[in-house]
Structure 1
Amino acid sequence: MAVHTAAHHSSGQVLPFRESLLAMLGVSFVSMLVALDQTVVGTALPTIVAELRGFELYAWVATAYLLTSVITVPIFGRLGDYYGRKPFLIASIIVFTGASVLCGAANSMLFLVIARGLQGIGGGMLVGTAFACIPDLFPDSVVRLRWQVLMSTAFGIANAVGPSLGGFLTQYCGWRSVFYVNLPVGLISLFFVWRYLPHLRHVVHKGKMRLDWPGALLIALALGSLQLFVERLSKHGFNGSSGALLAVSVASSYALWQWEKRFAQAILPVDMFQNRSLNALFVLAVLAGFSMFSILFYAPLLFQGGFGMSPNEAGLVITPLVVFITIGSIANGRVVSRIRHPNTMLYIGCVLLAVACCGVAIATRTMPHALLMLLMVLAGLGLGFVLPNLTIFAQQTAGREHFGIATALLQSLRMIGGMIGTAITGTLVTQMYASGVRNALERDHAGHWYADLGDPQILIDRGAQAHLLDQLTRAGHSGAALLEAARTSLVGAIHMGLAIATVVAVVSIWQSRRVPPVKLSRKLEPTVAAE
């Protein structure tokens, strides 16, 4: 494999405009692949469970994917630094698309869960490498911000059309088509990446390269047990088994830290955590992930289950959140490179996110839809200002040698923040909703109806609601009053979770002010290309 230095073009990019555009289209299709899968599959899950009959594995369809992807993001982010990202990106598209076909062919829930785990490995590889391809192609951070809009737009489009597409495909083509839709997108992204993305390497090692397998295994153990802990916490509360998982996660994290300090070619470079700027950005990624996933996951449940909106109404109210993440990213790319203090955009973004979380945390059923949509606009703009800047600032601070691992760590830490946020809100919903419903039923001497009313899904499924109301009325109970009590319990639980997300968003405002001033450098460094 011949290695040479690729010439930079005057615009601050490795390739001419046409080649840059085609390479970025490949990377954008890859990000669309992951976003589309995340949004489309959720809509089809109830139908899948009804056909494959494995409700006890319902949560694992999502958990298996999250578990394997969270583990593989930092591992392949680092391997991409060593060997170049193109081989891993190609492999990840093949694994992800192949696993999607297996998901579509599943004849049991267990088979589907295993295939989703394999799909998560491909998804983790995609996230760990795709985001780091952009600084490879555009060493000038100002130019990079403009091109990053392509990826943000692809991600936004996939998020916007995903739920509707999932519902349409499930209804008219069957749930298996939800997974098969990844096949054409995967093939298109594979073509563009294979044909147009250059194979660039930035870390050239002399002598034999040793892979840090113990570090990779400890990362898997630390993140895997953390994911399982938050999964169990939201469903069963804190008990012996969830406590044991937390202990395993803490112990393996400590062992990982000690090991990486001694290993010469560490998969997780300890010196990165000794950098004050990177540390501040990593903490901010966790906080932003907490607030972001809390509002993304639970605002739809609040609007449909708590406020009684139809899926179409709730979709219309939520849409500005997704759309304005993209618009915010585009506006941020235009503004951040033109102002004296780029950190200001982080600060503004965190303020907007805090206002949005607070607004939704005090929202009532009588609040006009236009006002709820305005809150979604503020949340979208806030995330559009925060997310791209976290990536750009971390890449700028980490230096070329650590581009991949710094970018991957940001994604992983954001997902970990999201896991913690959704687990806390999920625990509140489970416990507070269950308590409120049980009390209401006992007051009406209808305790044996808890099995029907104890799951918040009943507040979304209009058909099941009508059937339950009819049964309760025939049994001499006030079905409408019991449903209203259930809605009140759900609203109170989600409000409490979003109030915590608001506090975290306020802390992120303070944290954003702790990030040392970042200067967006236009300095171009030599890029090593492997052919």
Structure 2
Amino acid sequence: MLGLCFVTMMVAVDQTVVGTALPTIVAELNGFKLYAWVASSYLLASVITIPIFGRLGDYYGRKPFVVASIVVFTIASILCGMSNTMLQLVLARGLQGVGGGMLIGTAFACVPDLFPDSHVRLRWQILLSSAFGIANAFGPSLGGLLTQNAGWRSVFYVNVPIGIASLFFIWRFLPHIRQVQTGAIHLDWQGAILVALGLGGLQMFVQFLPQQGANLPMVLLGLGTLLVFAALVYWEKRCPQPLIPLDMFKNKSLAALFSMSVFVGFIMFALLFYLPLLMQGGFGANPQQVGLLITPLVVCITIGSVLNARIIVRLSRPNHMLYAGFALLVVACATLSSAQHTTPVPLLIAYMVMAGLGLGFVMPNLTVFAQETAGRSLLGISTAMLQSMRMIGGMLGTAIVGTVVSHYYVESVRKAVPQGEGTTWIAQLEDPQVLVNHAIQSDFMGALFRQGLNGESFIELARLALVSAIHSGLFLAMLVAIVALVWVYRLPRVTLSRSAGSAVQPRTEKPLE
């Protein structure tokens, strides 16, 4: 469990420090157009690898894949820190996503292997939640501190000592538990290839459609993606050992939980990757201040998880915690989508606390409910699918919110500065890098000063445009949270079991008509 805690810390630290450092990274490497891809490449690679290694873990045991994933993740973190262009960083993040997908698909499924009783498991998960909380507590602040004082590359090198510690404990102490298999084992590589093609096509379609419009290449890409998903469904129905057992989606509980995991991923990654840009680019905060402001959000994910573990075992209807969590997310997204640079800091912290508690009330319950419902034979793949759905939601969230932010920012700048039309300096102002890169900003203001223009006023207009654009993205996240809140009604009542045997067949009840 200590080894799994270090694994949890490594994943959590990576998510929090990268989000905080990302505006500075983009400013230095001059690649705001690839802002969303830094997150999306990681998420896309993770989504593809999670079900593959979740299934392999069911077949061969999880320990070898946990060890391999730690090695891949650590090496990829070093490559991220060595990147000299945005494209190199995106590719290295993709490799890091492969390691992250292996980790998520196998490491977190080790817990129910070790503790089949769901009540005992909930108590042990407090240890994982604490590790997650420690990482979250210092992650954003550490990311801001390192970015401001040691450079953004250092935020990736933080993973190296954590990776070494986790590798030692996992290699030395984690038992190699392997489920008994009857008959030959065949991994569904055809299904894996179709998953990769389908999700890759979906990612590119969402990312490029607003820029390219409905031209012939985009129409062909959209149709091709639909055909790949249709082929995936056709193949998985006929495959004797499918990568994604479609029967899981016939289970109303699992289908509802997978849908809610997509919604959670959309909301969480939209907040983690665009709130730092709002504060640094829109409000003018430095990386260290951004880290301090983001810290309450991620810390309260852990606090919410710990409170949830104490509360949910005492509830006759555990589903109620999902209502509470999504309601908090609705309020948090609504308030953050109206925050301004004049908003008092204590009020901003309160908004972050609500968002963190909401995520803390939802995420652990989705995992426990899915493990309760799926049974022993589908334990690994159901856990992996839940995490995959969250990653898909995160991938869509960062891509869609990023597209909305980019579109509305450029439109707002053009409306606010009509006198810049046709000039070279308006193109600089339409790139948000001018708001986070002090060297570019200084050159821009100097160029306008030589033309007799007040560059500072244009910078302020651009900040207001960025704030308004990110507000539009956060409003979209609020709409997704409302849909998720309504969706909880579709989840049949879940009753947590007390024994290993009963964990295989949980009791579920249909909601009242």
Task: Compute the TM-score of the two structures, normalised by the length of structure 2.
Answer: 0.90
How has the CA–CA distance of structure 1 residues 488 and 239 changed in structure 2, closer, same or farther, with 3 Å as cutoff? farther
1:461 aligns with 2:422: no
Aligned residue in 2 for 1:207 = 183
For 1:261-272, list aligned pairs within 5 A: 261-272=237-248
Aligned residue in 1 for 2:161 = 184
Question: Which amino acid is the alignment partner of residue 264 of structure 2?
Answer: A
Aligned residue in 2 for 1:422 = 398
1:153 aligns with 2:130: yes
1:469 deviates by: 2.9
1:36 aligns with 2:17: no
For 1:220-239, list aligned pairs within 5 A: 220-233=196-209, 239=215
Deviations 1:14-69 (A, max 9, x none): xxxxxxxxxx1111111222222333345666777788888887765544433322
Aligned residue in 1 for 2:50 = 73
1:241 deviates by: 3.9
CA distance in 1, matches of 2:486, 2:26: 44
Deviations 1:399-419 (A, max 9, x none): 111111111111111121122
Aligned residue in 2 for 1:129 = 106
For 1:40-79, list aligned pairs within 5 A: 40-41=17-18, 61-79=38-56
Instruction: Please give the secondary structure, in 2, of the residue aligned with 1:400.
Output: coil
How has the CA–CA distance of structure 1 residues 458 and 152 changed in structure 2, closer, same or farther, with 3 Å as cutoff? farther
CA contact (8 A) 2:36 2:402 kept: no
When structure 1 is superposed on structure 2, of 479-488 and 226-235 the one drifting more is 226-235
1:92 deviates by: 1.1
For 1:272-351, list aligned pairs within 5 A: 272-351=248-327
CA contact (8 A) 1:139 1:524 kept: yes
1:70 deviates by: 1.7
Question: Which amino acid is the alignment partner of residue 253 of structure 1?
Answer: F
When structure 1 is superposed on structure 2, of 406-415 and 478-487 the one drifting more is 478-487
How has the CA–CA distance of structure 1 residues 377 and 276 changed in structure 2, closer, same or farther, with 3 Å as cutoff? same
CA distance in 2, matches of 1:175, 1:312: 12
Question: Which amino acid is the alignment partner of residue 125 of structure 2?
Answer: Q
Identical aligned pairs, as a percentage? 60
CA contact (8 A) 2:27 2:436 kept: no
Question: Which amino acid is the alignment partner of residue 485 of structure 1?
Answer: L
Deviations 1:52-108 (A, max 9, x none): 888887765544433322210111111111221111111111222233344455577
How has the CA–CA distance of structure 1 residues 392 and 445 changed in structure 2, closer, same or farther, with 3 Å as cutoff? closer
1:119 aligns with 2:101: no
Instruction: Please give the secondary structure, in 2, of the residue aligned with 1:316.
Output: helix
Gaps of 5+ in 1: 1-23
For 1:101-120, list aligned pairs within 5 A: 101-104=78-81, 113-120=90-97
1:408 aligns with 2:384: yes
For 1:139-178, list aligned pairs within 5 A: 139-169=116-146, 176-178=153-155
How has the CA–CA distance of structure 1 residues 238 and 303 changed in structure 2, closer, same or farther, with 3 Å as cutoff? farther
Q: Choose which of 366, 370, 374 in structure 1 pairs with 2:342.
A: 366
CA contact (8 A) 2:73 2:99 kept: yes
> How big is the alpha-carbon RMSD for the aligned residues of Structure 1 and Structure 2?
2.8
The alignment of Structure 1 onto Structure 2 pairs a total of residues equal to 503
Gaps of 5+ in 2: 504-513
Deviations 1:413-464 (A, max 9, x none): 1121122222222112111111121233323667331222111232233454
Instruction: Please give the secondary structure, in 1, of the residue aligned with 2:74.
Output: helix
How has the CA–CA distance of structure 1 residues 136 and 47 changed in structure 2, closer, same or farther, with 3 Å as cutoff? same
Instruction: Please give the secondary structure, in 2, of the residue aligned with 1:206.
Output: coil
How has the CA–CA distance of structure 1 residues 316 and 60 changed in structure 2, closer, same or farther, with 3 Å as cutoff? closer
Aligned residue in 2 for 1:518 = 494
How has the CA–CA distance of structure 1 residues 84 and 225 changed in structure 2, closer, same or farther, with 3 Å as cutoff? same
1:501 aligns with 2:511: no
Instruction: Please give the secondary structure, in 2, of the residue aligned with 1:518.
Output: strand
Deviations 1:375-399 (A, max 9, x none): 1101000000000000000110111
Deviations 1:339-372 (A, max 9, x none): 1111100110000000000111122333222111
1:109 deviates by: 6.2
Q: Choose which of 488, 500, 511 in structure 1 pairs with 2:464.
A: 488
Question: Which amino acid is the alignment partner of residue 517 of structure 1?
Answer: R
CA distance in 1, matches of 2:20, 2:323: 34
How has the CA–CA distance of structure 1 residues 295 and 116 changed in structure 2, closer, same or farther, with 3 Å as cutoff? closer
CA contact (8 A) 1:441 1:449 kept: no
When structure 1 is superposed on structure 2, of 430-439 and 49-58 the one drifting more is 49-58
How has the CA–CA distance of structure 1 residues 414 and 343 changed in structure 2, closer, same or farther, with 3 Å as cutoff? same
